[in-house]
Amino acid sequence: MTRDEILKIIEEEKIHFFRLQFVDILGHMKNVAIPRSQIEKALDGQIMFDGSSIDGFVSINESDMYLKPDYDSFVVLPWRNKDGVAAARIICDVAKADGSPFEGCPRQNLKRVLAEAQKMGFTMNVGTECEFFLFERDECGNPTICTQDKAGYFSVDPDDYGIDCRREIIETLESMGYEIEASHHEVAEGQHEINFKYADAVTAADNTITFKWVVKTIAKKYGLHATFMPKPVFGINGSGMHTNQSLFHLDGRNAFFDESDPLQLSKTAYQYIAGIAKNARAFAAVTNPLVNSYKRLVPGYEAPVYVAWSASNRSALMRIPASRGQGTRVEVRCPDPTCNPYLAFAMMLSAGLDGVKNDLTPPPSTDLNIYKMTDRQKRAAKIKNMPASLQEALVEFKKNPLSRAALGDHIFENYLSAKEAEWDAFRIAVTDWERETYLAVY
């Protein structure tokens, strides 16, 4: 999309308010709202903001930063048309006062890693599958973990209590240009999934951030609270963000496909799988960023706990979906939807490219149900566990040089600092479980 095309839409749609959006290091969406009179200035990248007010960005003595819009991310907001007056948004890269890219901008960092892939002759396509829960709100409007939904996996009406909300989410996304491939009720009560078409890595990250925003916005309209928290309720399945990824040659051919191989996977695909396996324990701190993330990564709830791969086995970290040709891809199943997708994609791409650069060979495919394998069998198959806590993940994150290389010094240091503080806050907290277990006994 061009600047002139955007200005034409703004005039035709009577857009009076414009949101300039970006994400911070932890993946939280931020925005600056401007009136119609400032839109042309915004499209020229001349809107300035105080970067020192964003956690992990810059100090107060270097706070002036610019928002550089990506014209292709411009979209009119369907739910914001009131009395004939509309609003729109555009996603921005963050630049320093001198106009150079800000190394702490997650979107800019992903572009940097993609540029390294391009030097090797590759681009990256990604498709995410974000699961979420729809819960009721209390009389004060606060979120609960209650739901009248009694449906299960792939259920149909009338048990699917959130069907109307999910339908409007899909209609809203389609009106914003998303190509929705499927939607369905997930395993747990109140849990849903909507799948949209893959895209290049930057666009896919933009889409994931936008998707979460739309889901929360429409859910609120229905008096519901949408949460992407990985494990909001004990004893039922948590929410993941399975991430389908593939490398393409610069001429548009899928670099993971080789018709002559028994699994129709190329040498590049096997190397990429090996790189993911080698670095998975380190990138978990980014793909699974919360204390709560590791309540999901436990056996028995379909979440991947073991570093392994298979053409069909859903108990493995990596699965190779059946589609071949241009659809050949690796599905990495550990990420959850609270991750910053720009950082998660940068980490996983760097991990896979590590395998390609160093001609790594993956371990043999594991086609057994790993949950039922004995410890002895897992050791024989050289299957490692994913980290069991955020603390363990951070230890792996710190000691693997790929982490700093994939995120850059600024993001690495600030992300690590924020997550170590989060773990420390959890470590010293006294929980309801502790009181219920110990208070009357000791």
Distance of alpha carbon 344 from alpha carbon 106, whole angstroms: 10
64 given a catalytic annotation? no
Q: In terms of DSSP H, where are the helices of 141-191?
A: 163-175
Give the length of the chain. Answer: 442
5 given a catalytic annotation? no
Q: Is the dihedral of CA 209, 38, 86, 198 positive or negative?
A: negative
DSSP-derived 3-state class of residue 293? helix
Q: 4, 5, 44, 50: which one is catalytic?
A: 50
Phi, then psi, of 212 in degrees rounded to 5: -65, -40
Q: 19, 89, 107, 242: which one is catalytic?
A: 242
Q: Counting Cβ atoms within 10 Å, is residue 197 exposed (0-12), middle (13-18) or buried (19+)?
A: exposed
129 given a catalytic annotation? yes
28 given a catalytic annotation? no
333 given a catalytic annotation? yes
Which helix (H) or strand (E) is 115 found in, with range? helix 106-119
Q: 19, 89, 107, 333: which one is catalytic?
A: 333
Both tokens assigned to 305: 């706990």
Q: Counting Cβ atoms within 10 Å, is residue 267 exposed (0-12), middle (13-18) or buried (19+)?
A: middle
Q: 24, 93, 193, 206: which one is catalytic?
A: 193
Q: 24, 131, 160, 396: which one is catalytic?
A: 131
3-class secondary structure per residue, 293-313: HHHHCCCCCCCCCEEEEECCC
Distance of alpha carbon 404 from alpha carbon 414, whole angstroms: 11
Q: 149, 189, 258, 331: which one is catalytic?
A: 331
Q: 149, 186, 206, 336: which one is catalytic?
A: 186
DSSP-derived 3-state class of residue 303? coil
Q: 93, 129, 189, 354: which one is catalytic?
A: 129
Provide the CB-side half-sphere exposure for 40 (13 A, CA). Answer: 5
436 given a catalytic annotation? no
314 given a catalytic annotation? yes
Distance of alpha carbon 414 from alpha carbon 32, whole angstroms: 23
Cβ proximity of 381 and 369 under 8 Å: no
Phi, then psi, of 49 in degrees rounded to 5: -145, 170
Cβ proximity of 354 and 279 under 8 Å: yes
Q: Counting Cβ atoms within 10 Å, is residue 294 exposed (0-12), middle (13-18) or buried (19+)?
A: buried
319 given a catalytic annotation? no
Q: 36, 314, 404, 410: which one is catalytic?
A: 314
186 given a catalytic annotation? yes
Active site amino acids: 50, 129, 131, 186, 193, 242, 314, 331, 333
